[in-house]
Amino acid sequence: LRTNFSVIQKETGFVNGLIAVLHDNTEQEKIDTERREFVANVSHELRTPLTTMRSYLEALADGAWQDPEIAPNFLNVTQTETERMIRLVNDLLKLSKMDSSDTELNKEMVEFNVFFNRIIDRFEMSKSQDVHFERQLPSESYFVEIDPDKLTQVIDNIISNALKYSPEGGKVRFKVNAQEGFLLVQISDQGMGIPKENVEKIFDRFYRVDRARSRAMGGTGLGLAISKEMILAHGGVIWAESKYGKGTTIFFTLPFEADDGGEWE
Ligand code: ADP
* pLDDT tens digit sequence for 147-184: 999 999 999 999 999 999 999 999 999 999 999 999 99
Q: Is the CB of 200 under 6 A from ligand 1?
A: no
DSSP code per residue over 114-174: HHHHHHHHHHHHH--S--EEEEE--SS--EEEE-HHHHHHHHHHHHHHHHHTPPTT-EEEE
pLDDT band at 24 (very low <50, low <70, confident <90, very high): low
Confidence (pLDDT) at 13: 55
Burial of 265: CB neighbours in 10 Å, binned 0-12, 13-18, 19+: exposed
pTM of the model: 0.83
- Give how far Cα 15 sits from Cα of 5, 9, 28, Å: 11, 8, 20
Q: Is the beta carbon of 205 within 6 A of some atom in ligand 1? A: no
* pLDDT reading at 34 higher than 50: yes
Separation between Cα atoms, residue 189 and residue 246, nearest integer Å? 8
Q: Is the CB of 247 under 6 A from ligand 1?
A: no
Residue 227 near ligand 1, beta carbon < 6 Å: no
Measured in angstroms, how far is the CA atom of residue 105 from the centroid of ligand 1?
25
Is 77 touching ligand 1 by the criterion CB < 6 Å? Answer: no
Least confident of 45-54, 111-120, 215-224, 254-263: 254-263
Task: Give yes or no for residue 210 CB within 6 A of ligand 1.
Answer: yes
Give the H/E segment covering residue 184. Answer: strand 182-189
Question: What is the rounded distance in angstroms from the CA atom of residue 5 to the CA atom of residue 200?
Answer: 38
CA distances to 31, 42, 79 from 36, rounded to whole Å, are: 9, 10, 30
Give the model confidence (pLDDT) of 106-130 as tens digits.
999 999 999 999 999 999 999 888 9
Q: Which pLDDT does position 206 carry in this prediction?
A: 92
Cα–Cα nearest to 177, from 247, 113, 237:
113
Centroid of ligand 1 to alpha carbon of 211 (angstroms): 10
User: Given the CA of residue 157, which atom of ligand 1 is nearest to it?
Assistant: 7
The Cα–Cα gap between 186 and 245 comes to: 19
Whole-number Å distance, alpha carbon 60 to ligand 1 midpoint, is 34
**What is the whole-number distance in angstroms between the Cα of residue 246 and the centre of ligand 1?**
15
CA nearest ligand 1 atom 3, residue: 219
Distance between Cα 202 and ligand 1 center (Å):
6
Query: CA-CA distance, 230 to 252, in Å (whole number)?
Result: 11
Give the confidence band of 58 by pLDDT, cuts at 50, 70, 90.
very high
Q: Is 162 in the pocket of ligand 1 (CB under 6 A)?
A: yes
ipTM for this model: 0.98
Q: What confidence category does residue 28 fall into, taking pLDDT thresholds of 50, 70 and 90? A: confident
